[in-house]
Structure 1
Amino acid sequence: MLQLIQKHNHQVAGSALQRKRDIYRFRGGPLLGWLLDECRRRGETQLVMLRQLGFTPSHMTLLRNHKRKSSGISQATVEACARYLGVQPIVIKLLAGHILPSDFLLPGMTEEEVLDRAWAEARGDMALRALVPEDCSNWPLAARRAVMALYHESTGMDPLGLHQLPGILQELQRAAQIHVGNMREAAL
C-alpha cells in the first residue's frame, strides 16, 4: 500500500502528460486515477477511501499492479465508485474499461473531425456564414465546440446530432471524446 501511495504522490507532482501516460497505459487505469484524485481533493487518506468503496488495500494493489482488471468490477463496486466520485455509474464503466470510449464516436473520427464535419454542414446556413469567419480550423477546439452549441441553441439545427441523445448521454459522449484524446496523447 505504501508503494501505491508513493507512486500516486509522484504522479501528482509529475508532469500532466507523464501522469496521463501512467494512468492511460492500461484499460481501467483512469478509474484508479480519478479515485485517487478525488481522495486527494477531499483530503482523505486512501484507507478512508478504500473503506467507503468496500475495497481492501490488497484489492487496490491488485488493481494497480494489473493482477486484477478494473473491467471485471462488480455492479456494486461500480455503484460505490459512482457515489464516491459523484457521477453516473455509466461513467465508472467507461473509466473501468467495461465500455470503450470509441463506442461513442464515429469509427475512426476524432472530436475535431466530428466538429469539422458539423461545421461544414452548418456553413450552409447563410446567417451563420455572415457571423463567423469561413475558416475556423485554427480556433481552439473549445471555441469551435461553443460555436456549434450556440448554433444549435439559437437555430434548433443540430449538425452534431445531439438531439437524439438524452442529457446524460450527451455528457458521456463528451467524456468519451476527452478520454480518447487523453489516451492518444498518453500514447505519444
Structure 2
Amino acid sequence: MSIIKKTPEQLAAEVLAAGKDLRKERTKRKVTPTERRTGWTAGITDEEVTLRGCTLLAWLIEAANERGLQLKEMAEAIGVTYGYIHQLRTGIKPIPGLSEKVIDGCAKFLGVPRLAILVAADIVRVDDFYLEPDSLSVYLEPALHLMQRDPEWGAFVHPSVFRAEPKVQHLLILLYEEATNRKLIPTKVNLQGLLDALGEEVPETTANDAPVPPKDRLN
C-alpha cells in the first residue's frame, strides 16, 4: 500500500478547512434571562436585612430577579450607578437618605407610588399613618391575642409571632383584617382627605375625637 505524502502546505490547508467547517457547524444557543442572572439576585444577605430601609432593597432585587436583570441593568433603569447600589447594600449610603431623584427612579422601576418607596425605605414610618401618637405599637399585642383566640385562625398564630418585629406583626394583622373584615387597630389617616385639605385650616380636636382604649376597641 502506497502512502500519499502531502506537503506541509497541503496539511495546513486541510487543518484550516476542518477548523472552519467545525465552526460553521457549531450553533449558538440563546442564553435565557434566567441564565444571565448572577448570584446577587437570589435575595438580600443577612447583613443587608439589618439595614434600615432594607425592605426597599429587597423589593428592588426581587423585581430585578423577576425581569432577569443584572445589578448594573437595574441601576441604570433606576437612574443610578452600579457603585451607588453597592453603597446602599453595604450601608455606606443610608437607604433612608435617598434623594428625590432616586425615589422617583425606584417608583418608576417598581411601578408603584412614591409614597410606597418612602415607606419601604423607612423614610416614612407606618406609625405616621395613624392619628394617635404611637398607637400602633400599643394595639399590636392585644390584636395578636385576639387573633390567637379566633376559632378559625387561632391555630395559625404561632407563639413566635409575639416576638417578631413590629412590622411583621403589623403585616399579619393587616392580612387578618383583610381576610375577616374586622378592624383590630385604629383607623389610619385618610391620605386623600389630607390632600384635599391642603391649604385649609385644620379643625381643633374635640373630646369626641379621643381614641378608643385598646380593650374597648378589641372587644
TM-score range, shorter-chain basis?
0.5 to 0.7
- Closer, same or farther: CA 162–47 of 1 in aligned 2, 3 Å: same
* Equivalent residue, structure 1, for 2:54: 29
Q: 1:164 to 1:107 in 2, by over 3 A?
A: closer
Give the match for residue 136 of structure 1.
Answer: 150
Tell me the amino acid that sits aligned with residue 145 of structure 1: E
Q: Alpha carbons of 1:63 and 1:56: their partners in 2 closer, same or farther (altered >3 Å)?
A: same
Q: Is 1:76 matched up with 2:101?
A: yes
1:131-178 Cα shifts (integer Å, max 9, x gaps): xxxx417254577424641x5xxxxxx6645485358x9xxxxxxxxx
Is residue 69 of structure 2 the alignment partner of residue 44 of structure 1?
yes
Residues 112 and 146 (structure 1 numbering): CA distance in 2 closer, same or farther, change over 3 Å? Answer: farther
Which secondary structure does the structure 1 equivalent of 2:59 belong to?
Answer: helix
Q: Does 1:59 align with 2:84?
A: yes
Q: Letter of the 1:106 partner, please give it.
A: S
Counterpart amino acid of residue 82 in structure 2: P
**Radius of gyration: which is bigger?**
2
| Inter-partner Cα distance in structure 2 for 1:144 and 1:45 | 36
Question: Which amino acid counterpart does residue 113 of structure 1 have in structure 2?
Answer: P
Partner SS state of residue 135, structure 2:
coil
Q: d(CA) in 2 for partners of 1:96 and 1:163?
A: 20
Return 5+ residue gaps in structure 2 as ranges. 1-37, 157-171, 195-219
Aligned letter for 1:28? G
How many residue pairs get aligned? The number is 134
The ranges of structure 1 where at least 4 consecutive aligned residues each deviate by more than 6 angstroms after the TM superposition are none
Q: TM-score, normalised by structure 2?
A: 0.49
* Identity %, equivalent residues: 21
The amino acid that maps onto 1:81 is C
Q: CA deviation at 1:69?
A: 0.9
The alpha-carbon distance between structure 1 residues 83 and 66, as it changes in their structure 2 partners (threshold 3 A), is: same
Using a 3 Å threshold, how does the CA distance of structure 1 residues 81 and 108 change in structure 2: closer, same or farther? same
Counterpart for residue 145 of structure 1: 177
RMSD: 3.5
Which has the larger helix fraction? 1
Higher RCO (Cα < 8 Å, 6 or more apart): 1
Identify the residue that residue 138 of structure 2 maps to in structure 1: 109
Secondary structure at 1:108's aligned position in 2? Answer: helix
Q: Which deviations, in whole Å up to 9, do the C-alpha atoms of 1:99-148 show, x marking residues without a partner?
A: 2334446253364534667x8xxxxxxxxxxxxxxx41725457742464
Native 8 Å contact 1:27 1:96 kept in 2: yes
* Change in 2 beyond 3 A, CA 1:61/1:144: closer
3-state DSSP of counterpart to 2:137: coil
5+ residue gaps, structure 1, are 13-18, 120-134, 152-157, 170-188
For 2:91 and 2:188, locate their aligned partners in 1 and report how far apart those are by CA, in whole Å: 39
Q: 2:78 and 2:108 mapped to 1: Cα distance? A: 9
TM-score (norm: length of structure 1): 0.55
**Cα distance between partner residues in 1 of 2:51 and 2:122:** 9
